[in-house]
């Protein structure tokens, strides 16, 4: 934990001032000098390029009108190199403000202008604003690295745990079967009952280990989007599930084609449909699946007429191994909704419980167009 805390502390900002006149460099240094900044200087475009190729630079303040190579030429060369293309540049120009028309050829947010004679407050505000953006970008990159590390660590942990535990669980399962076969009808009823309870616990442990493995694999899966006929995909998915005969599944508003990670979407529907009928305590029921097209996304709805999820347990519904039913129920591992939530989050989608209806459970999820 100490290493992670240290990783997100704020570093100093390195600023490179580029101008062919030493007095202009000194003026800018005096304006932006601060304890949390490292100021480097260059008297030409060529010198600036050598510095950015050898040393880390967070921001450049660069004069436009320089001999041999002007500021625009330096910027163009930097944008061609992946090592320097990301460095923000503020052009310092004595020309008219019409020079801003030159910004269109650069990536938004990577260049800006300051005009001579420099306004002290405007210069400081602009540098502070860009500096904050740089720090935010650095923190985001560090958090991404930390997140990638934690994911890798979690996956390794899951592999070791499941690998080491599955073997003794299989051995216990075999021992139960051997003892049961050896004793046959001579086994006392009380012993048989205890063995049955033990077998249920073994089966549940095996299901939990398989579910945990499945959960960890979701973050490692990747798939290219492809066009699919949604209505056919949903009905084909329904056919693969052992839905009780007394349950009806009604699909509406899904008769269209869109580009999507097909196998991922199938997995989402499998888990949400299973969740709808496995948690319905009635002998018969109805599951409604629908889709609504929005400007930037599709919103899918899976609605059942079961007991519903109490509002106080809404957050726990998406936590791994949380379940409202008996822990010994077949395949009821509490992994379905958390698995779907993890899968959709990895794809940049959303999932939530809709409470516009008072009966049953209504789960919605989005998929970007």
Dump pLDDT digits (tens) for 263-295. 989 999 998 998 888 888 778 899 999 999 999
pLDDT confidence of residue 8: 38
Q: What is the pLDDT of residues 103-159, one digit of tens each?
A: 555 554 467 888 888 889 999 999 999 888 888 888 888 888 887 777 777 777 777
Task: Tell me whether residue 291 is in a domain.
Answer: yes
Task: Tell me whether residue 137 is in a domain.
Answer: no
- Does residue 205 sit in the same domain as residue 271? no
Task: Tell me whether residue 140 is in a domain.
Answer: no
pLDDT confidence of residue 96: 54
Q: Are 361 and 304 in contact (CB under 8 A)?
A: yes
Residue 290, sorted as left (phi over 0), alpha (psi -120 to 50) or beta, turns out to be: beta
pLDDT confidence of residue 281: 77
- Report the DSSP pairing between strands 297-304 and 362-368: antiparallel
- Does residue 26 sit in the same domain as residue 92? yes
Q: Which domain holds residue 6?
A: 2-118
Q: What is the pLDDT of residues 237-269, one digit of tens each?
A: 999 998 988 899 999 999 999 899 999 899 999
pLDDT confidence of residue 54: 92
Is the pLDDT at 328 greater than 60? The verdict is no
- Does residue 203 sit in the same domain as residue 252? no
Q: What is the pLDDT of residues 31-89, one digit of tens each?
A: 999 998 999 999 999 999 999 999 999 999 999 889 889 898 999 899 899 889 889 99
- Does residue 32 sit in the same domain as residue 114? yes
Q: How many domains does the chain have?
A: 3
Alpha carbon distances (Å) from 222 to 72, 217, 264, 346: 41, 10, 9, 10
CA neighbor of 217 nearest in space, from 343, 363, 85? 343
Last residue of a domain, one of 218, 235, 254: 218
- Among 7-11, 245-249, 346-350, name the one with the lowest average pLDDT: 7-11
Last residue of a domain, one of 218, 248, 263: 218
Task: Tell me whether residue 11 is in a domain.
Answer: yes
pLDDT confidence of residue 47: 96
Q: What is the CATH number of the domain that holds 317?
A: 3.30.565.10
Q: How many CB atoms lie within 10 A of CB 39?
A: 16
Torsion over CA: 240, 245, 249, 250 (sign):
positive
pLDDT confidence of residue 62: 94
Task: Tell me whether residue 63 is in a domain.
Answer: yes
- Does residue 186 sit in the same domain as residue 268? no
- Does residue 199 sit in the same domain as residue 293? no
Q: What is the CATH number of the domain that holds 48?
A: 3.40.50.2300
Task: Tell me whether residue 138 is in a domain.
Answer: no
- Does residue 96 sit in the same domain as residue 52? yes
Q: Are 123 and 114 in contact (CB under 8 A)?
A: yes
Is the pLDDT at 310 greater than 60? The verdict is yes
- Does residue 350 sit in the same domain as residue 313? yes
Q: What is the pLDDT of residues 179-222, one digit of tens each?
A: 988 888 888 888 888 888 898 888 888 877 877 777 777 656 67
pLDDT confidence of residue 110: 60
Residue of higher predicted confidence among 45 and 96: 45
pLDDT confidence of residue 185: 86
What mean pLDDT, rounded, does the chain reach?
83
pLDDT band at 9 (very low <50, low <70, confident <90, very high): very low
CA distance 328 to 205: 10
């Amino acid at each position: 934990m100490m290493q992670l805390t240290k990783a997100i502390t704020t570093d100093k900002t390195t600023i490179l001032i580029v101008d062919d006149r030493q007095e202009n460099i000194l003026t800018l240094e005096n304006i932006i000098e601060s304890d949390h900044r490292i100021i480097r200087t260059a008297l030409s475009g060529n010198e600036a390029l050598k510095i950015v190729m050898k040393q880390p630079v967070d921001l450049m303040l660069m004069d436009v009108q320089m001999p041999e190579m002007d500021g625009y030429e330096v910027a163009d060369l930097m944008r061609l190199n992946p090592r320097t293309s990301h460095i923000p540049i503020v052009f310092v120009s004595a020309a008219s403000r019409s020079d801003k028309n030159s910004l269109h050829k650069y990536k938004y947010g990577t260049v800006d202008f300051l005009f001579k004679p420099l306004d002290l407050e405007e210069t400081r505000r602009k540098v502070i604003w860009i500096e904050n953006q740089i720090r935010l970008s650095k923190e985001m990159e560090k958090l991404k690295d930390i997140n990638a590390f934690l994911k890798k660590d979690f996956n390794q942990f899951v592999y070791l745990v499941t690998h080491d535990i599955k073997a003794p669980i299989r051995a216990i399962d075999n021992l139960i079967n051997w003892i049961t076969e050896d004793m046959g009808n001579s086994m006392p009823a009380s012993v048989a009952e205890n063995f049955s309870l033990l077998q249920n616990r073994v089966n549940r442990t095996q299901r939990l280990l398989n579910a945990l493995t499945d959960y960890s694999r979701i973050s490692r899966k990747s798939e290219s989007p492809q066009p699919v006929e949604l209505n056919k995909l949903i009905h084909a998915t329904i056919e693969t599930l052992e839905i009780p005969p007394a349950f009806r599944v009604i699909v509406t508003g899904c008769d269209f084609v869109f580009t999507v990670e097909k196998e991922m979407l199938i997995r989402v529907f499998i888990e949400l449909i299973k969740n709808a009928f496995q948690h319905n305590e009635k002998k018969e029921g109805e599951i409604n699946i629908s889709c609504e097209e929005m400007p930037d996304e599709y919103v899918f709805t899976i609605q059942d007429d079961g007991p519903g999820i109490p509002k106080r347990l809404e957050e726990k519904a998406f936590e791994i191994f949380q379940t409202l039913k008996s822990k010994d129920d077949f395949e009821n591992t509490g992994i379905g909704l958390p698995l779907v939530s993890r899968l959709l989050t990895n794809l940049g989608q959303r999932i939530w419980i809709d409470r516009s209806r008072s009966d049953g459970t209504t789960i919605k999820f989005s998929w970007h167009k």
